[in-house]
Amino acid sequence: MTSRYRSTQSTGAPARGVNSPAPRRRTVVKAAAATAALAGPLAAALPARAAEEAPAFLHGVASGDPLPDGVLLWTRVTPTAGAIPGSGLGPDTEVEWVVATDKALTAIVAKGSVTATAASDHTVKADVRGLAPATDYWFRFSAGGTDSPVARTRTAPAADASVANLRFGAVSCANWEAGRFSAYRHLAARGDLDAWLHLGDYIYEYGTGEYGTRGTVVRPHTPTHEILTLADYRARHGTYKTDPDLQALHAKAPVIAIWDDHEIANDAWSGGAENHTEGAEGTWAARQAAAKQAYFEWMPVRPALAGTTYRRLRFGKLADLSLLDLRSFRSQQVSVGDGEVDDPERTLTGRAQLDWLKAGLKASDTTWRLVGNSVMIAPFAIGSLSADLLKPLAKLLGLPQEGLALNTDQWDGYTDDRRELLAHLRSNAIRNTVFLTGDIHMAWANDVPVDAGTYPLSASAATEFVVTSVTSDNLDDLVKVPEGTVSAVAAPIIRAANRHVHWVDTDRHGYGVLDITAERAQMDYYVLSDRTKADATASWARSYRTRSGTQKVERAYDPV
C-alpha cells in the first residue's frame, strides 16, 4: 500500500471554499447492489456483482485507534470481477478519501489519496492527522466514479483535557458460523459511543462445522476449509467484513482492537497452537506471519511494534488504555498439576511487554487505567460441580476433564507474570486499574485479588469486567439446554469457590457498554434474544461498577 496526502489537508478547522465532489450517480445503486450480492457466501456472490458494478466498496468502511489529532481510516476496494479477497488479482487503483465536519461532506477539513494494490489485498488505510480533539467527523472513500458509504468517526480528547465522561462498547468472540452479529447492530444503533473495543476473536480460523454451532451452521465460512495461508486469512476477513451489522458498527464509531488466538489459531502461543499441526499444515512461522499480515491489512489498527498489537491510547485526564498482545510472546501452555504454571521462566506477556505495561501504569496521571486484556486475569477455581456440568465447563475453559481448578490458557497458567504485575500495582499504590476482557464466552464481574486463597480478608489490586461472546458457544450451547439453565446451577458454585467473583453468566450472548466518569467505571451488560436470528433483540441484564479508589466491584441496579 502506498499513500500520498494532498496539500489540501487542514489543521482541523473547516476549510473555506472547499466543497465535496458532486455526488456520483452510481453510489446509491452500488450500495444496494452490494448488500444484495453479499447476503450469501462471498465467493459465490461477489464475482458476478463485481463484474457488473466494479469498482465497488463491498466490505464497508471503518476507522480506528483515535488520537487527539487524528484517526486511522480503512476500506477495501474491489476493482474488478476477479479481485476478490485473497485472490491476488486486480489492478492498482487510486482511492481518494475526504474528511469533513458534517455528514453531507460540505465542510471538508482533510483529503488525500491512497493506492490500493494486490500486494495489500486492495485494502487501504489513511492515517489522518491535523484534526481537532474530541470531535465528530464524517469520511468517505471514492474510486473510479464510485463512492463508499459515508461513515462517522471521533477523535480522542486532548491529552490534558478534563473529560466528564467516556463511553465504549465492548465485544469479543464473534463466530460467523454460530449466528448473526446482532450485538454489533445494537451497539451501532446507540449513537453515543466514543469508540468500541474488540477484545479478540474478531474472526475464527476453523473449517465449516468444526467449532461452536450447537450442531447447526447458521451460515458457512468462506473458505470452507480451515484457513492456513495468506490467501485463506484474507478471504476469511473479507467474509466477515460483508456482515451488514459489523459494517454498520464500523460506520458509526472508531474501533480499538486487539487479537486473541482465533485470529491465528486456537490456543496460539509464540511457537505454535493447539489447532496447528507442524508439517501437515506448514510451518507455524509462516501461518502466524500470514494471519498477522491479513489482520493488519483488514483492520483499522496501528501496529505499535512490527507484528504486535500492544499499544497505548489516552483519553484526556480521565483514562488511558493499555492494549495487550497475549499471543505473540507467551510460553506454551502447560498441563495442570505439573507445577510449571509457577515457573518464573514461563511468560504470558513476554518480558518487554510486561515492563512496558508496568511502566505505563506507574507513569499514568489519568484517573483510570484501563487494560485491554484478551484472557481473564482474575484467578478461577471450579469448586464442586456435578459431572454433567463439569465436562462442558472444562471444555469451554480449556481445563482438564478431571476438573482440576486451573485454566492454563489464561493468566492462571502464568502465575509469575500475574504475581509480578499485581505486586507492582500494590507497591506503587496504583489505583483504578480496570481489566477489560473477552475470550471465555461468559460475562464476569471480578475483583482481582493479590491472594485469592485468603480473599476477601486480603487486598484487591484491580478490577475486571469480562464480556460474553457475540455468537461463540457458551455453556448452555455446549450442554444443549435452554438458556439460563446452566447459570442457575453453576454460577452459585463458581462464586462460592471464588470469593472475588461478584457475578458470572455462563449462558448468554451479547455485549457490554463501559461508561466512565471521575467517580466510577460502570459496565452495563446486554444480552441477545437469539444469536441465530438477524432480528434478535437486546435487553439489559446486569450492571457492575467500581468506584474510584476502591479496587473493588459492586452491583449497580440501573444501566447508565
Q: What is the pLDDT along the chain (560 residues), one digit of tens a residue?
A: 433 333 333 333 333 233 333 333 333 323 333 333 333 344 444 444 444 556 999 999 999 999 999 999 999 999 998 999 999 999 999 999 999 999 999 999 999 999 999 999 999 999 999 999 999 999 999 999 999 999 999 999 999 999 999 999 999 999 999 999 999 999 999 999 999 999 999 999 999 999 877 788 999 999 999 999 999 999 999 999 999 999 999 999 999 999 999 999 999 999 999 999 999 999 999 999 999 999 999 999 997 666 799 999 999 999 999 999 999 999 999 876 666 888 899 999 999 999 999 999 999 999 999 999 999 999 988 776 666 776 777 677 665 444 444 688 999 999 999 999 999 999 999 999 999 999 999 999 999 999 988 899 999 999 999 999 999 999 888 888 888 888 898 899 889 889 999 999 999 999 999 999 999 999 999 999 999 999 999 999 999 999 999 999 999 999 99
Residue 198, all three cell numbers: 474488540
What is the distance in angstroms between the CA of the first residue and the CA of the last residue of the chain? 42
CA dihedral for 177, 183, 187, 188, sign (positive or negative): positive
The CA–CA distances, whole Å, from 467 to 167, 451, 525 equal 15, 24, 8
Taking Cα atoms as reference points, which of 401, 505, 410 lies closest to residue 393? Answer: 401
Ordered strands of the 319-323 beta sheet: 311-315, 319-323, 368-373, 433-437, 460-466, 443-449, 501-505
The CA–CA distances, whole Å, from 326 to 254, 267, 349, 351, 392 equal 22, 11, 6, 12, 25
Distance CA 461, CA 411 (A): 15
The per-residue pLDDT for 398 is 64
The per-residue pLDDT for 10 is 33
CA dihedral for 486, 487, 488, 492, sign (positive or negative): positive
Residue 279, all three cell numbers: 508439517
CB atoms within 10 A of CB 463: 27
Q: With contact defined as beta carbons under 8 Å apart, do 542 and 527 qualify?
A: no
The per-residue pLDDT for 307 is 78
Q: With contact defined as beta carbons under 8 Å apart, do 391 and 401 qualify?
A: yes
Q: Got the DSSP string for 405-468?
A: S--TTSGGG-HHHHHHHHHHHHHTT---EEEEE-SSSSEEEEEEES-GGGTTSS-EEEEEEE--
